[in-house]
Amino acid sequence: MLSNQPDGGKRSSLHGHWSSRMAFILAVTGSAVGLGNIWKFPYIAGQNGGGAFVLVYLVCVIVIGMPVMMSEILIGRRGRRNPVATMKLLGEEEGSSSKWGWVGGMGVIAGIFILSYYSVIAGWTLAYVVKSATGTFAGASPEAVGAAFDSFVGDWRLIALCHTIFMGLTVFVVARGVERGLEQAVRFMVPALLLLMLVLLGYSISTGYFGQGVAFMFTPDFERLTWGSVLAALGQAFFTLSIGMGAVMAYGAYLPEETSITGASAAVVTADTGIAILAGLAIFPLVFANGLTPADGPGLVFNTLPLAFGQMAGGVFFSTIFFVLLSFAAWTSAIGLMEPAVAWIVERFNKTRAQACVGVGLLIWILGFGSVLSFNVLADTTFLAGTIFDNVDYLTSNIMLPLGGLLITIFAGWVMCRNSTSDELGNSGGLFRSWRMLARFVAPIGILLVLINAVL
């Protein structure tokens, strides 16, 4: 059960605690596993040479993503408040400045921006569940599938409706609180997501093209690896682990004292990365089996795969399973993206959780219309990185999340004293020294180099 009592005399979260270590791992895994793993990872890998990109991505996850996640969790648990209040409070306690609260604020804003377009794409998955279940893609030609996709994204009213439904579902769960909402949702959806993924993987193995998919995923083609690929790998590591946006820090605030941050972080990173790899192994054999290309961009999931499913025996069933899986993954991530802003409003303005959820949900819903219109009415209105959708995606994934992760890691590694961090992580010799070295030197330098490349 949740408890509002302090652990061992330490500061306690105003929102309660996760009931167990497993509940926390499922929650953070649910937040981390989303469209970034199943929708974005396969097509980015396809565009960047497969195995070479996967290798760089794994290095980014272990050397940079893991230390940043540990830093974010330990800060969250130390402060036991929303990201803004936590960074401000700890900045003062560590003898630095309350202005560190702005870092937490940037994470909250990044989460709002990401969810504004994430909800739009997630709404597509809901529509495609219906399309799949009703046999829209059964035996359809490439032209018919393409026309269905173009017709769908060209109808801004339909996209807006799906965006509205998805945001309504997200608000409903978050409004129910930590135990009755967040925890109950992830206890069901994360295991269900994994089960559905394994079913789809089993089907991919039976296609006869599984070996080709494995070769594509794990055979490095370094000639296609560019600085842009490295930037994409780092941005993907941040995007898929949900770090740098306040979600992990907010969840860390509800983590019981007796739970090992190192062990929990390793479990989350392993589960998240494993599901991303499973997604690629499930998707690419289907693509190759139908003579399609794995580098089809965002259309890989919403255009190429429906065509592949439509040509298979049992395609209606497996296509429906795939998009239900994608919807679950998107939903659990959206919950994590929304939580930091809701926690901030509840604490800062003394509002009820329901009031905060409605307010935040309405703001995100309105902002989402920029992305809704990017695929139709405003498709030809481009600037900087492209459409409104393209710009928000680039700003958050390649600038705000790495910058947030950089500042969070600097705060944990340099601003917080050794006693504070070892108190949270446990001064267990080599593990603590490894984290400290990575958080103080390796992760910041790696993030900074890629950030400079992104800006220039």
Band (pLDDT 50/70/90 cuts) for residue 133 is very high
Average pLDDT, the chain: 88
Burial of residue 233 (number of CB atoms within 10 Å: 0-12, 13-18, 19+)? buried
Nearest to 116 by CA among 456, 319, 326, 393: 393
> Mean pLDDT over residues 346-364, rounded?
96
Band (pLDDT 50/70/90 cuts) for residue 296 is low
Q: Is 49 left (phi over 0), alpha (psi -120 to 50) or beta?
A: left
pTM score of the predicted model: 0.89
What is the CATH class of 21-455? mainly alpha
SS3 of residue 386 by DSSP? strand
The pLDDT score that the predictor gives to residue 16 is 66
> Mean pLDDT over residues 345-363, rounded?
96
Band (pLDDT 50/70/90 cuts) for residue 15 is low
Band (pLDDT 50/70/90 cuts) for residue 301 is confident
- Which is more confidently placed, 299 or 375? 375
Highest mean pLDDT: which range of 182-186, 240-244, 301-305, 319-323: 319-323
Burial of residue 7 (number of CB atoms within 10 Å: 0-12, 13-18, 19+)? middle
Q: At residue 203, does pLDDT exceed 70?
A: yes
**Distance, CA of 44 to CA of 198 (rounded, Å):** 22
Q: At residue 3, does pLDDT exceed 50?
A: no
The pLDDT score that the predictor gives to residue 7 is 45
Q: At residue 362, does pLDDT exceed 80?
A: yes
The pLDDT score that the predictor gives to residue 244 is 86
Cβ neighbours of residue 49 closer than 8 Å, sequence gap 6 or more: 220, 221, 222, 223, 224, 225, 229
Q: At residue 207, does pLDDT exceed 80?
A: yes
Q: What is the pLDDT of residues 258-291, one digit of tens each?
A: 889 999 999 999 988 888 888 889 888 888 887 7
> Mean pLDDT over residues 140-156, rounded?
91
> Mean pLDDT over residues 75-84, rounded?
96
Band (pLDDT 50/70/90 cuts) for residue 298 is low
> Mean pLDDT over residues 313-335, rounded?
89
The pLDDT score that the predictor gives to residue 9 is 46
**Which tokens belong to 262?**
């190192």
The pLDDT score that the predictor gives to residue 8 is 42
User: Cα angle at 204 between 199 and 209, to 5 degrees?
Assistant: 165
Band (pLDDT 50/70/90 cuts) for residue 5 is very low
Nearest to 395 by CA among 275, 130, 404: 404
Q: What is the pLDDT of residues 224-256, one digit of tens each?
A: 888 888 878 887 887 778 888 899 999 999 998
Buried b (16+ CB within 10 A) or exposed e, 335-355: bbbbbbbbbbbbbeeeeebee
**Distance, CA of 13 to CA of 346 (rounded, Å):** 12
Buried b (16+ CB within 10 A) or exposed e, 240-261: bbbbbbbbbbbbbbbbbeebeb
Q: At residue 12, does pLDDT exceed 70?
A: yes
Percent of the chain at pLDDT exceeding 90: 50
- Which is more confidently placed, 16 or 149? 149
Cβ neighbours of residue 429 closer than 8 Å, sequence gap 6 or more: none
SS3 of residue 383 by DSSP? strand
Q: What is the pLDDT of residues 418-435, one digit of tens each?
A: 999 999 998 667 889 999
